[in-house]
Amino acid sequence: MSNAAYRLAPVAVLAAVTAGSAVAAPQATAHTITAVTVTPGLGGGFGTGCTYQVSATVDADAYRITFLDNDYPIRGNQNLQVSGNTASLAWTPSTTGTHVITALFTVADQAPVSTTVQVDSTGLNLGSACFAQ
């Protein structure tokens, strides 16, 4: 065998190992957000100044979620870890009207999921309870 053949042999082995590794690598699984919910306050309505629980249900714990209110990040929610297939945060609307609450994966390319909430009134916050008037 010539010196050139000896020099090329390790390259051929490396190429074969690399090709085999690519075939044996696990395939990425696409995970989805299955629901976004906003828990209404007493009386079932929504009011400004009251705080509500916003949750996203996800089919895997390994991701982080970001929540948006009308396309703006909700304060304090960047990269929330999904735990028990849910990511949640407290949301206090500051304006009346229609609010589109969206959950999306922080890193993945999966489709966001939204729900619409109508904030009809100014909330009356009594400390331990908040009523939408």
- At residue 102, does pLDDT exceed 90? yes
Residue at token pair 């735990």: 83
Q: What is the CATH number of the domain that holds 105?
A: 2.60.40.10
Q: Let me know: does 107 contact 63? Beta carbons within 8 Å.
A: yes
Q: Let me know: does 111 contact 34? Beta carbons within 8 Å.
A: no
Quote the pLDDT of residue 9. 47
Q: Phi, psi at residue 113, to the nearest 5°? A: -130, 140
Domain containing 90 equals 33-132
Residue 7 resides in a domain: no
- At residue 94, does pLDDT exceed 70? yes
Residue 19 resides in a domain: no
Residue 10 resides in a domain: no
For residue 97, what is the enclosing H or E element? strand 97-105
Specify the number of domains making up the chain.
1
Q: Write down the mean pLDDT value for the chain.
A: 78
Residue 90 resides in a domain: yes
Residue 18 resides in a domain: no
